[in-house]
């Protein structure tokens, strides 16, 4: 049976752990709000891109781009957006379970985050590139990932590119999800995807009658807009993954803090019982000695 000294030491240790997990919970909560705000800040750009693409469609009905080319998928690249650190519950485990479903013989992997790189090395899957991103992902970080994936597709090294990430649903719920990044498919499908992600309504008939002039020409503008669309999508997925990470970590740290506080209560109760038993024993010894002397 542990002594009262051992229990006091354990109570002190658990209280220190609870302080740490509580602090991590507060930090994760603050970062989660910033990540959510970052995702919202991208929406005006998406809405404007959707509007421009709708007007471009009138003059580029037969528009084709190499990144829109659909071909039989013999080889595939998968971008895994994970975290750099742990202590976020089952967020990474659920993501890696989805990654394990891909055929290792025909799939190349791009790791975004240290945990993804560790998983790929541990399971001996083909890792072709590794990227990192900050707590507040930048558009430049998204462009670097996007350009590398585009290069694989344009060179014919892969026929499709998927992104595995964790979709942010709400603070208590995050779900691993897959997004087909390349090929883009028809222009209409791409415009619809931009509009949906921007939460923008289809243009009204009155708005469609407004004439726009594009310089130097609609096709050149469309060429640039297609590339921005891919970069933008990667940036959005990075922000979703980061918001999911901070949410999962906040919930995990809250649960850890609650468990630590409950453990302190249980240990305190056990300590009080031992202390009471010790006092009762001493009183009995004193009474017995007094009776013996009497």
Q: Which residues are catalytic?
A: 88
Count of helices and strands (H, E) across the chain: 8, 5
Dmax over Cα atoms in the chain, in whole Å? 115
Cα atoms in the Cβ-side hemisphere of radius 13 Å centred on 292: 6
Residue 158 DSSP SS3:
coil
Give Cα separations from 195 to 7, 40, 55, 188 (angstroms). 60, 14, 13, 11
Compute how many other C-beta atoms are within 10 angstroms of the C-beta atom of residue 163: 24
CA distances, 50 to each of 61, 232, 245 (Å): 16, 12, 29
DSSP for 85-130 reads: S--STTHHHHHHHHHTTS-TTTEEEEEESHHHHHHHHHTT--EEEE
Q: What is the DSSP letter of 136?
A: S
Helices 139-154 and 218-293: crossing angle, nearest 10°? 120
DSSP 156: T
Contact 28, 253 (CB under 8 A): yes
197: its two tokens: 């992600």
């Amino acid at each position: 049976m542990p002594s009262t000294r051992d229990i006091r030491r354990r109570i002190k240790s658990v209280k220190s752990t609870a302080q740490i997990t509580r602090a991590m919970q507060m930090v994760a909560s603050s970062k989660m709000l910033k990540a959510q705000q970052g995702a919202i800040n991208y929406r005006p750009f998406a809405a404007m891109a959707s509007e421009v693409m709708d007007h471009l469609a009138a003059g580029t009905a037969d528009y084709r781009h190499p990144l829109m080319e659909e071909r039989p998928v013999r080889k595939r690249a998968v971008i895994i957006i994970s975290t750099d650190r742990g202590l976020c519950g089952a967020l990474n485990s659920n993501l890696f379970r989805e990654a394990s479903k891909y055929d290792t013989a025909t799939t190349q992997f791009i790791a975004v985050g240290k945990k993804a790189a560790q998983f790929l090395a541990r399971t001996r899957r083909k890792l072709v590139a590794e990227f990192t991103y900050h707590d507040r992902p930048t558009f430049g970080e998204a462009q670097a990932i996007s350009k590398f994936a585009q290069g694989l597709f344009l060179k014919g090294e892969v026929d499709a590119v998927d992104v595995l990430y964790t979709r942010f649903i709400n603070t208590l719920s995050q779900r691993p999800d897959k997004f087909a990044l390349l090929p883009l498919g028809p222009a209409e499908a791409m415009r619809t995807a931009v509009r949906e992600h921007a939460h923008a309504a289809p243009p009204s008939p009155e708005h469609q009658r407004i004439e726009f002039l594009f310089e130097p020409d609609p096709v050149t503008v469309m060429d640039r807009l297609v590339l921005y669309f891919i970069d933008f999508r990667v940036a959005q997925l990075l922000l979703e993954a980061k918001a999911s990470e901070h949410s999962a970590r906040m919930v995990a740290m809250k649960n850890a803090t609650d468990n630590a506080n409950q453990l302190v209560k249980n240990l305190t109760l056990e300590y009080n019982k031992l202390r009471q038993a010790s006092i009762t024993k001493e009183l009995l010894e004193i009474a017995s000695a007094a009776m013996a002397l009497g």
